[in-house]
Every structure is written in C-alpha cells, then in structure tokens.
Structure 1
Amino acid sequence: MRLLHTDTAKTEASEAVLPLPDICLTALRLRQKEQQAARERADDLWTESDMVFTTRYGTPVEPRNFTREFDRRCERAGVRCIRVHDTRHTCASLLAALDVHPRIAMQILRHSEIAVTMEVYTHVPSADTRRALRKLGKALGGGSKQKKERKEKKGKRKQQKRAEEQAARDGQQES
C-alpha cells in the first residue's frame, strides 16, 4: 500500500495563482457541491481537510482507488484510458496543437525549464507533422495551389501563343 502524504510545492512559482478555464471552474464548483452533500451525510464522521477529492468521509482518497475511478470515468466518456500523470502530457500536447507559445505552456504546467515542457511533455501527432510539412512546402512554392496556378498561367500563355500564331498565319493567307 502506498502512503499518502502532502508536500509543499517544489518552487514558489508552483504556488502561484493560475487562472482556470470556465470548464474547470464549473467542474470544481460541481465537486464542491458534491463534497458538501457528502459532508452533510457523514455528519460527525466527516474529517475536515482542504482537499478537493476525498472519500465520503472527507479523508484522502487512496491513490489506487483514485486511479480506478479515473479509469472508470475514461471508459464511460469513451476515451482511451491513460495514466493520471499522462494527463499532463495530454495538456502539453493540446497546448502545442493550439499554437500556445511554449513559454506559456511551461508556466501552465509549472515547469522551471522549457526543455522539460517541449522535450518530455509535448508530443506532436504525425498528422500535425504532415500538416506542418505541407504548410512549409506551400510556403516554399511547392504547394498544390501554387502549382495549379502556375499550370493555368502556362496553359494560358500556350493558348495565347497559338492564337497569335494562328492570327499571323491568317494574316499571311489574306495577303
């Protein structure tokens, strides 16, 4: 059995206030209501703490039980089950996919070094890599749109040249 303990953060920066997206605030408010209802049901059996996730008696959730519940919720939501810690990797990768500046992602994840954020936590899907390479190709003039435009211009020049040659021949025949 793993022992539960609370630690202080590694750095003071880790303790800084971080604004949360509305979806997170909504979830935390819902959790607060659920916890208040559990507190009322438990009455004198409730153990007061500052923890967000507790048992029905206010005590810390044992890590194995937290993981089990996390897995159940992943299955219920129809998403692939991953380790709880991997949600940090998912967050980093989503921030990268949303073109969030790496320094901002580093702050959100509370990393002290950008290399940790970019090299350890951020995973770029191959579809994104292909999309980036297509963009690069287009920027370098090899994009299909530019190719099509060049082909059309070439075709128009050929048509114009043929028309001019035909007009010259027609002019020679009239003389």
Structure 2
Amino acid sequence: MAKQAAGELWSNSDFIFTTRYGTPIEPRNFNRRFVDRSTRARVRQIRLHDTRHTCGSLLAALDVHPRVAMQILRHSKIAVTMEVYTHVPSEATRRALRKLGKHLGKQDPE
C-alpha cells in the first residue's frame, strides 16, 4: 500500500520497515515510534532490542529448531542465537506459555 501511495518516489529495498518512500528509517525515529505504539497499546515499556531476546526465547520454548531461529533472528552464526538470544525455558515456563497460548485463543496441542 505504501509503495502504491509513493508512486515514482518509492525506493526498492530489502528492508522490512521503511519510511513512506521505501528508504531506511532513521533508528531514533524507529525507537520513538516503538515507544509511542507500546504506550498506546498499554504494554510495559521495554527496549526495542529486547524484543529480539523475547523472540529467541519464545522460539526455543516452542521447540523451533535452532537453525530456523537463527534465520528468523537474522544471525550469521548459530552461536549468537544459542548463547546470547536463547534462554532455555524450565518446565514451569513451558506451562506458563501454554496457559498464555490458551488465554490468547490457541488450543493446547498436548
């Protein structure tokens, strides 16, 4: 939709998040938008970078293969994924995630 609105001003890129013209977003602007949207959603404020750790931990808790998690997180080395971004959950954590999934409307596969 943004590409159509920008028309000839659109700049193609491989970026997921861009300006309205397809160009890279300045990092401080992205962080400000993240804080603004978190505030409007009434969720606890965390650093944008912490969302990567959350994603890595959730992927591990869901038993996603480490190589797949590495690709999702866009790491070039699996050691970074496994040692920095992935926190192996305890059984209590797994139970809590199942409860969360049920609360969010997902059925427990077990």
With the shorter chain as reference, the TM-score category is: 0.5 to 0.7
TM-score scaled to structure 1, two decimals?
0.42
Please give the per-residue CA displacement for 1:44-64, whole angstroms capped at 9, x wherever unaligned: xx7431255214xx2543221
Deviation at 1:130, TM superposition (A): 4.8
Q: How does 1:69-148 map to 2 (within 5 A)?
A: 69-124=33-88, 128-131=89-92
Deviation at 1:89, TM superposition (A): 1.5
Q: How does 1:14-93 map to 2 (within 5 A)?
A: 33-37=1-5, 39=6, 47-51=9-13, 52-55=17-20, 58=21, 60-93=24-57
- AA paired with 1:53? T
- AA paired with 1:111? H
**Bigger relative contact order (CA 8 A; separation at least 6):** 2
CA contact (8 A) 2:66 2:81 kept: yes
- AA paired with 2:34? F
More helix by share: 1
CA pair 123-79 structure 1, distance change in 2 beyond 3 A = farther
Structure possessing the higher radius of gyration over alpha carbons: 1
Unmatched 5+ stretches in structure 2 = 94-110
TM-score scaled to structure 2, two decimals?
0.61
Give the superposed CA RMSD.
2.6
Look up the SS of the partner of 1:99 in the other structure: coil
Unmatched 5+ stretches in structure 1 = 1-32, 41-45, 133-175
